Amino acid sequence: NISALLPFALQDVDSMGQLPGTDMHPALSLVQQWIDPADPLSFAAPIARVPEMGQSPLHIFQPYGHDDSYSPPVTMQTYAVAGNFGVAASDATVVTPDSIGGFTEQAVPLSANVDVNATSYTVALRQYRGSSDGHFVAFDVASANADVARFLAMAALGVAPEVGN
């Protein structure tokens, strides 16, 4: 629990055991400069759409599980927007899809939706709803498991993988 540890690490604890000023504490901006280079959000676009010099883009598939307690919706949505991911039509398990950055859902199978240097890559997110924590949809929802397995198998074969079917 980083938020509980931080006031003690910074030696600035209020009477409630909290960091005074909460997320507006001035020391946090100093800590943030060391964390930012490792933040996955910093890699959302470079990993697939705007690779670093000498690097190739990668195929990306982000299974988005509703009611995910490990990766809250705002976290998954922010990452998808930062990487400008295509949004594949939601799985049949989803009654009401979350809005992802105002992006329009695209028909499945979604494949080769990004072109970088005349090569096509699949960069996509698809929403699923399981019966338990959404973090585990790739294991708990048969269609999500099939989508992940197909995506990985196609990528291993060197073809632009498909999301959904």
- 106: alpha, beta or left, given left = phi > 0 and alpha = psi -120 to 50? beta
Q: Residues 58-88: pLDDT tens digits?
A: 999 999 999 999 999 999 999 999 999 999 9
Q: Residues 39-52: pLDDT tens digits?
A: 888 899 999 899 98
pLDDT at 164: 98
Residue ranges of alpha helices (H) inside 56-136 are: 73-82
> Distance of CA 164 to CAs 65, 92, 126, Å?
14, 11, 8
Q: Identify the band that residue 98 occupies on the pLDDT scale cut at 50, 70 and 90.
A: very high
Question: What are the tokens at 122?
Answer: 């699949």
> Distance of CA 132 to CAs 85, 137, 157, Å?
26, 8, 33
Q: Identify the band that residue 142 occupies on the pLDDT scale cut at 50, 70 and 90.
A: very high
Q: Residues 104-121: pLDDT tens digits?
A: 999 999 999 999 999 999
Dihedral sign for Cα atoms in the order 33, 48, 71, 88: positive
Q: Identify the band that residue 5 occupies on the pLDDT scale cut at 50, 70 and 90.
A: confident
pLDDT at 3: 78
User: What percent of the chain has a predicted confidence (pLDDT) above 90?
Assistant: 71
